Amino acid sequence: MEANLNKPWSKEVSLPVRSLITFYSKEADNLIFKKSKKITIFCKSGYCSVSLNWTISKNLFTTPFLSGKGKPIPGNIFIINIPAEKLKPGFYDLKVYIDVGEKQMVTDICTFGYEIGKIRYCLTKPDNFEKFWNNAKKSISTVPLQPEEIFIQEMTNNEIDQYNVKSACLPPRYDPGIKYDKIDVYKVSFSSINRLRVYGWLAKPFGKGPFPGMLVFPGAGYRPEPIPAEHARHGYVAIDIQVHNQEVDQNKYEKPLWEKISIDYNKPETSEFYTMYLNCLQAVNYLVS
Q: Which of 125, 131, 147, 87 is nearest to 282 (CA)?
A: 147
Read off the pLDDT of each residue in 130-157 and give the average, rounded to a whole number: 96
> Which pLDDT belongs to residue 12?
72
Read off the pLDDT of each residue in 250-265 and give the average, rounded to a whole number: 83
> Which pLDDT belongs to residue 120?
86
- Preceding peptide of 210 cis, ω within 30°: yes
The CATH code belonging to domain 129-288 is 3.40.50.1820
Fold of domain 21-118? Immunoglobulin-like (2.60.40)
> Which pLDDT belongs to residue 268?
86
> Which pLDDT belongs to residue 74?
93
Contacts of 170 (CB under 8 A, 6+ apart): 9, 164, 230
Q: What is the pLDDT of residues 74-131, one digit of tens each?
A: 999 999 999 999 999 999 999 999 999 998 999 999 999 999 999 988 778 888 999 9
> Which pLDDT belongs to residue 2?
57
CATH 3.40.50.1820 residue ranges of the chain are 129-288
> Which pLDDT belongs to residue 16?
66
CATH 2.60.40.1930 residue ranges of the chain are 21-118
Q: What is the pLDDT of residues 194-238, one digit of tens each?
A: 899 999 999 999 999 899 999 998 877 888 999 999 999 999 999
> Which pLDDT belongs to residue 241?
95
> Which pLDDT belongs to residue 1?
43
Q: Where are the alpha helices (DSSP H) in 6-156?
A: 129-141
Taking residue 183's Cβ as centre, other Cβ atoms within 10 Å add up to 29
**pLDDT higher than threshold 90 for residue 67:** yes
Concatenating the DSSP letter of every residue in 71-98 gives: EEETTTEEEEEEEGGG--SEEEEEEEEE
What is the pLDDT confidence band of residue 17, given thresholds at 50, 70 and 90?
low
What is the pTM assigned to this prediction? 0.76
| 148-157, 162-171, 265-274: range with lowest mean pLDDT | 265-274
